[in-house]
Chain A
Amino acid sequence: MARLEVIRSWLQTPAPVAFDTDYAAFAESLELAMVELYNDSLLKLTGQNVATAARFRDHHRAHAQAYASLAVGKAKGVPNNTLVFMKTPAVQALTDESSALSFLVALENQMAETYAYGLSLLTSPDVYRRVVTTLPVESEHAAVLGTEAELDAQGLFITGPFENASVGDGSDPRRGFDMAVFPVG
């Protein structure tokens, strides 16, 4: 019976719409860019912060794999070039551990904002459910790293009592990454 329920549930789940599979591919590319940016930033960290950042990097890798599986062949398996290109000068300018932690906090905040906005558009259950379960983990990454960076309340809650559900060109840490500005690939 349980097996029949699984089959019935599968038959009743609508196929994801094209926009949502595009979004999954976009999310995969962002998550892979996060993996790369974490790897670059790790060089500036020491002690326990290395282990913490490595754990979070691995989360992003797991997120990327999950989104790739939802992208129905659209995932490219490569980091988002625009995001990496935009953020690389900032990584190279990191002078110390504190600046590296703050840089990662800002990225995590923007990922949470990206997903909060994406949820207002997505209609395919498999895709939006994955986004819903990813967003709070990005928020928690920001919080944990923020404590290591010794941020005050303003820094820990950069958008106040709500995550911002808006996106932009990546320059404003209070807005996430716009699909149109950060194309897959």
Chain B
Amino acid sequence: MDRRRFLQLGTAAVVGTAVLGACTGDKSGKPRPGLPPTTTSPSNPIGAGPTDLTLAKTAASLEAMLMDAYKRLMASRIVTSSALLAYTNLFFDHHTQHLAALNGIITTTSGQAAVSEPNPVMQNQIVRPALDAAQNQDDFAHLFFTLEDAIAQTYVYASTAMSQPELRSSMMTIGGIEARHRALLAVEVEQLGLDDLFPSAFARADDPLPPDALLT
């Protein structure tokens, strides 16, 4: 099954149903030096696309979601894979810093508060049930690969839709790292072959999220 379709169809196809506790997103919101402010102008000149702010907030909520999910993974005693355990702390730290950087962008817009909660649609419809349903290490491995795959593609989608060059660059300084997460989990945990990891010479740029996952 196409992993991205999994995200749009729901959880049952992958791991079934189950729990995730309260979100513990980073509330510090410290901006990364040099990141440009966002803009509230439409990213699509025709006016049909999401705004830069919407895309940044959505990405931030996905970072918070992954932080929460990795915390759950750390707390679980099911996973024994040395590769997955080794990456868990590192990737959690990366996602924490990504969230802080995105909040640095978001809060430059007047009246915008930092994002600290996981994306509600993804969390409630997909991640929480999937974590609850995960029975073994393979379930966890597949879920985390799928989530990293989705967030990496989200950055590609968002970067092609954003209106400002500096924002596109900033988003892809994160998106490239998410792609590395995806590749490392694919090779070392999921044992995927190159055909699965690289279906094309280019990354996909369509929106991998459920239609209502964008934060406005």
* Chain A residues packing against B (C-beta within 8 Å): 12, 51-52, 55, 58-59, 62-63, 66, 112, 115-123, 125, 128-130, 132-140, 142-144, 147, 153, 156-157, 160-165
User: Which residue of B94, B176, B194 contacts A139 across the interface (Cβ within 8 Å)?
Assistant: B176
The CA of A12 and the CA of B48, in the complex, are separated in Å by 13
- Shortest CB-to-CB span from A69 to chain B, Å, is 13
The CA of A70 and the CA of B81, in the complex, are separated in Å by 45
Asked if B180 lies at the interface with its beta carbon under 8 angstroms from chain A, I say yes
Asked if B32 lies at the interface with its beta carbon under 8 angstroms from chain A, I say yes
User: Which residue of A55, A147, A156 contacts B194 across the interface (Cβ within 8 Å)?
Assistant: A55
B158-185 with Cβ < 8 A to chain A = 159-160, 165-166, 168-170, 172-180, 182-184
Asked if B132 lies at the interface with its beta carbon under 8 angstroms from chain A, I say no
Can you add 16 more A-B contacts, CB < 8 Å, to A58-B201, A134-B202?
A55-B198, A59-B198, A120-B166, A133-B202, A137-B198, A137-B201, A139-B179, A139-B180, A140-B182, A157-B90, A160-B97, A161-B174, A162-B97, A162-B98, A162-B174, A164-B173
Tell me if A140 and B32 are in contact (CB < 8 A): no
The CA of A164 and the CA of B34, in the complex, are separated in Å by 12
The CA of A133 and the CA of B156, in the complex, are separated in Å by 6
The CA of A95 and the CA of B178, in the complex, are separated in Å by 32
CB-nearest residue of chain B to A51: B194
A-B contact pairs, 22 of them (CB 8 A): A12-B46, A55-B198, A62-B201, A115-B172, A117-B169, A119-B168, A120-B168, A132-B156, A132-B175, A134-B202, A135-B175, A136-B152, A136-B175, A143-B187, A144-B187, A147-B187, A147-B188, A153-B90, A162-B101, A162-B177, A163-B176, A165-B170
- Counted as pairs of residues, one from A and one from B, with CB atoms less than 8 Å apart, the total is 132
The CA of A119 and the CA of B172, in the complex, are separated in Å by 8
B156 contact set on A, CB distance < 8 A: 132-133, 136
Tell me if B203 and A136 are in contact (CB < 8 A): yes
The CA of A143 and the CA of B198, in the complex, are separated in Å by 13
Tell me if B173 and A162 are in contact (CB < 8 A): yes
Tell me if B90 and A116 are in contact (CB < 8 A): no
Tell me if A132 and B187 are in contact (CB < 8 A): no
A116-B172, A119-B172, A133-B203 given; A140·B160 CB < 8 A: no
Tell me if A135 and B180 are in contact (CB < 8 A): no
The CA of A62 and the CA of B199, in the complex, are separated in Å by 13
- Shortest CB-to-CB span from B141 to chain A, Å, is 15
The CA of A164 and the CA of B170, in the complex, are separated in Å by 9
The CA of A4 and the CA of B37, in the complex, are separated in Å by 37
The CA of A115 and the CA of B202, in the complex, are separated in Å by 13
User: Which residue of A62, A123, A157 contacts B165 across the interface (Cβ within 8 Å)?
Assistant: A123
Tell me if B198 and A140 are in contact (CB < 8 A): yes
Tell me if B169 and A120 are in contact (CB < 8 A): yes
The CA of A132 and the CA of B173, in the complex, are separated in Å by 10
Tell me if B165 and A128 are in contact (CB < 8 A): yes
